[in-house]
Amino acid sequence: MIFQISPKKNIFFRHALDTSKDRGMTLVETIIYIFILTLLLGVIVSSLISFTRSSIALQAGRDVENSAASAFERMTRDIRDAKNIDLGGSIFNISPGTISLNILDENGNSKTIQFYLDGQILHIKENGTNIGSLTRSSAKITNMVFQQISNSLSKAIRISMTRESGSGSSYKSANFYDTVVLRNSYSTQ
């Protein structure tokens, strides 16, 4: 007598031959999928953190550059147009320095312009009244020195400024320098 196993009658054999799509995932498949998903999420989170750090560092650099450029532009224009330097209202060769200038306005009236630090922000005064700040609080000035340069032919001011922004890995610091000759100080010798 030969025994024949019929797939319809044997429950274990019938399950092994079942190829329908209704079967669930095995534990090993589930662990593999979770592992792959965890790796993908790790890569995505790491990329987002890296992107955020880069963005913060770039913003700190932009704050330093932009605020220094606008401050230097205004100081350069006013120093160049000044009649002379108010030595009594100026502080030279130390930080924080102050520069006080005598200027003629568009109507020919005399006015005094003063650039000074209040805390770590550059401010401007006109005829003793605070006009406002020239730099944003997001980037601070840690060093501001004015130097007077004079010879028999002209007068000039050298400006040295150190700007800082950010903190930790996004910290940026830069030194800026400019020398401006007063137009009205040229000698015609």
Give CA–CA dist 166/32, Å, rounded.
42
Print the SS3 string covering 99-115.
Answer: EEEEEECCCCCEEEEEE
Q: Is the pTM of this model over 0.85?
A: no
Q: What are the pLDDT tens digits along the chain (189 aa)?
A: 555 555 555 555 555 555 555 566 788 888 999 999 999 999 999 999 989 888 887 877 777 777 778 888 889 999 998 888 888 889 999 989 999 999 888 888 889 999 999 888 889 999 888 888 887 777 788 899 999 998 888 889 999 988 887 777 777 788 889 999 988 777 655
Give CA–CA dist 131/114, Å, rounded.
10
Q: Is the peptide bond before 7 cis (omega within 30 degrees of 0)?
A: no
Locate 51 and state its tokens: 């992107």
SS3 148: strand
